[in-house]
Amino acid sequence: MSIALGGLDVLVNNAGIAGRTASVAELDSDAWEAVLRVNLTGTFTVTQQAIPLLKKSNSGLILVMSSLAGRFGYPNRSPYATTKWGLIGFTKTLSRELGEFGIRVNAILPGAVEGPRIQQVLSGRATASDRSVEQEKAVALANQSIKRFVDPADIAALVVFLASDAGRSISGQMIPVDGDSQSAS
């Protein structure tokens, strides 16, 4: 692997899929495996390839995007929630393994992010429930203190902070960006 720009300082593991919405009893094993393959194995593979490069950095950082689902159970989304919990274990393990090399490892746990995806989810829920999209939005925000979806810029700002010198002593942490959510819904 050659690095044209001189090395690697920060890895942000942000690939993931949500997978099929179904109960555990109704979910087929192929749907389960597809989510695990992308969300866990993909993160493992990219991280494993990046570690030798990060060991050469003076300020190595690995950020793992978990989710609100990595803090709470998520009905009808077992593969997604399982992988997001697994990424927390992966983060803690990497933090312990790589700290001696000065590599920091943290997980970011976003809640529902404002944008087309959450709007599509709300529209689907509205159709299924005979409620309006606004009513579904109110239901979705009812479990959190700050009554708005996460602005993607807030997640980006946290990434920049953690990658800066200001974050140099932060490692092994799970940092929610979710408006103080009390459950996944």
Show which residues are catalytic.
80
The answer to whether 37 and 83 are in contact (CB under 8 A) is no
Nearest CA among 148, 152, 124, 149 for reference residue 136: 124
The answer to whether 149 and 119 are in contact (CB under 8 A) is no
HSE on the CB side for 37, CA within 13 Å? 7
> What distance in Å separates the CA atoms of residue 99 and residue 63, rounded to the nearest whole number?
14
